[in-house]
Structure 1
Amino acid sequence: MDARNEGMGTLKGRSRVAQQDSTSSQTAKPVARAGLLRSGMVVSVMTMLSRVLGLVRDVVIAALLGAGSGADAFFVAFKIPNFLRRLFAEGAFNQAFVPVLSEYATRRTREEVRELLDAVAGSLTVVLALITALAMLAAPWLVWVFAPGFGRDPTKLALTADMLRLTFPYLLLISLTAFSGSVLNTWNRFAVPAFTPVLLNLSLIGAALLLTPLMDEPAMALAWGVLIAGVAQLAFQAPFLARLGLLPKPWPSFAHEGVRRVLRLMAPALFGVSVSQINLLLDTVLASLLAAGSVSWLYYSDRLVELPLGVFGIAIGTVILPALSKRHAEQSAEHFAKMLDWALRAVLLLGLPAALALGVLAEPLLITLFHYGAMTDHDIAMSAMSLRAYALGLVAFMLIKVLAPGFFARQDTKTPVKIGIIAMVANMVFNLMLIWPLAHAGLALATALSAYLNAGLLARGLRRDGVLVFQPGWGRFALQLGGGCAVMGLGLYLLSPNWQVWLGWGLWLRVATLAALVAGGALAYFAWLAALGVRLSHFRLNG
Structure 2
Amino acid sequence: MSRVLRASAIMAAGTMVSRVTGFVRTAVLAAAIGTFALGDAYNVAYTIPLVLFDLLIGGVLSSVVIPMIVRRQRSDPDGGRAYEQRLMTLGVLSLTVLALIATALAGPLIGLYSTGWNARKIEVAVTLAQYILPQIAFFGIGAIAGAILNTRDRFAAPMWAPVLNNIVMIGVAIFYYVKLGGAGTDVDTVSDGDLLLLGLGTTAGIVAQCLVLVVSLHRVGFRFRPRFDLREAGLGEMGRTAVWTFAYVGISQLGFLITTRLATGAGERAPGAGNSAYAYAYQFFQLPYGIIAVSVITAMLPRMSRSVSEGRPAEIAGEFASGVRLVAVLLVPAGLLLMVLGPAVTVLIFSWGNMTVESAVHIGNVLQIFGLALVPFSLFQLLLRVFYAFGDTRTPAFLALGNVAVNASLSLVAYVVLPARYVVMGLAAAFTVAYVVGTAVAWTMAARRVGGLGGREVAAGLSRMYLAALPAAGLALGVLWLTRELTGLNALSSAIMLAVGGGLGMVLYLAIAHRMRIPEVSSIVGMVAGRVGR
TM-score for the superposition, normalised by structure 1: 0.87
Distance 2:245 2:161 in 1: 24
Distance 1:274 1:323 in 2: 27
RMSD: 2.5
Distance 1:453 1:472 in 2: 18
Identify the residue that residue 414 of structure 1 maps to in structure 2: 394
Identify the residue that residue 191 of structure 1 maps to in structure 2: 156
Identify the residue that residue 14 of structure 1 maps to in structure 2: none
| 1:273–1:416 contact (8 Å) kept in structure 2 | no
Distance 1:335 1:440 in 2: 42
| 2:510–2:521 contact (8 Å) kept in structure 1 | no
Identify the residue that residue 186 of structure 2 maps to in structure 1: none
Moved more, 509-518 or 309-318: 509-518
Identify the residue that residue 191 of structure 2 maps to in structure 1: 216
| 1:207–1:224 contact (8 Å) kept in structure 2 | no
C-alpha distance after superposition, 1:507-534 (max 9, x if no partner): 5564344122221011111111111112
Identify the residue that residue 156 of structure 1 maps to in structure 2: 121
Identify the residue that residue 67 of structure 1 maps to in structure 2: 35
Distance 1:167 1:108 in 2: 39
Structure whose residues are more often helix by fraction: 2
The alpha carbon displacement at 1:220 in A equals 4.5
The alpha carbon displacement at 1:364 in A equals 0.7
Identify the residue that residue 106 of structure 1 maps to in structure 2: 74
Does the residue aligned with 1:149 lie in a helix, a strand or coil? coil
The partner residue of 1:285 within 261, 264, 288 is 261
With over 3 angstroms needed to count, the CA separation of the structure-2 counterparts of 1:491 and 1:285, relative to structure 1, is same
Identify the residue that residue 123 of structure 1 maps to in structure 2: 90
The alpha carbon displacement at 1:34 in A equals 8.0
The alpha carbon displacement at 1:170 in A equals 1.2
The alpha carbon displacement at 1:505 in A equals 6.8
The partner residue of 2:375 within 395, 405, 419 is 395
| 1:149–1:289 contact (8 Å) kept in structure 2 | yes
With over 3 angstroms needed to count, the CA separation of the structure-2 counterparts of 1:476 and 1:450, relative to structure 1, is closer
C-alpha distance after superposition, 1:4-49 (max 9, x if no partner): xxxxxxxxxxxxxxxxxxxxxxxxxxxxx98101101111111111
Query: Mapping of 1:202-281 within 5 angstroms?
Result: 202-210=167-175, 213=179, 216=191, 218=194, 220-272=196-248, 279-281=255-257
Query: Mapping of 1:361-380 within 5 angstroms?
Result: 361-380=341-360
With over 3 angstroms needed to count, the CA separation of the structure-2 counterparts of 1:275 and 1:194, relative to structure 1, is farther
The alpha carbon displacement at 1:315 in A equals 1.4
The partner residue of 1:481 within 462, 465, 468 is 465
With over 3 angstroms needed to count, the CA separation of the structure-2 counterparts of 1:356 and 1:220, relative to structure 1, is farther
With over 3 angstroms needed to count, the CA separation of the structure-2 counterparts of 1:448 and 1:280, relative to structure 1, is farther
The alpha carbon displacement at 1:502 in A equals 9.2
The alpha carbon displacement at 1:493 in A equals 0.8
| 2:85–2:224 contact (8 Å) kept in structure 1 | yes
Distance 1:244 1:39 in 2: 17
TM-score for the superposition, normalised by structure 2: 0.88
With over 3 angstroms needed to count, the CA separation of the structure-2 counterparts of 1:277 and 1:531, relative to structure 1, is farther
Distance 2:291 2:376 in 1: 15
| 2:285–2:371 contact (8 Å) kept in structure 1 | yes
Identify the residue that residue 13 of structure 1 maps to in structure 2: none
Percent identity between the two aligned chains: 24
Distance 1:99 1:234 in 2: 22
| 1:106–1:326 contact (8 Å) kept in structure 2 | no
Identify the residue that residue 351 of structure 1 maps to in structure 2: 331
Unaligned ranges ≥5, structure 1: 1-32
Moved more, 236-245 or 41-50: 236-245
Identify the residue that residue 494 of structure 1 maps to in structure 2: 478
Distance 1:132 1:198 in 2: 23
With over 3 angstroms needed to count, the CA separation of the structure-2 counterparts of 1:76 and 1:65, relative to structure 1, is same
The partner residue of 2:20 within 17, 33, 52 is 52
The partner residue of 2:519 within 535, 538, 543 is 535
Moved more, 358-367 or 219-228: 219-228
Query: Mapping of 1:323-338 within 5 angstroms?
Result: 323-338=303-318
| 2:128–2:196 contact (8 Å) kept in structure 1 | yes
The alpha carbon displacement at 1:504 in A equals 5.7
Identify the residue that residue 35 of structure 1 maps to in structure 2: 3
Q: Give the partner amino acid of 2:464.
A: Q
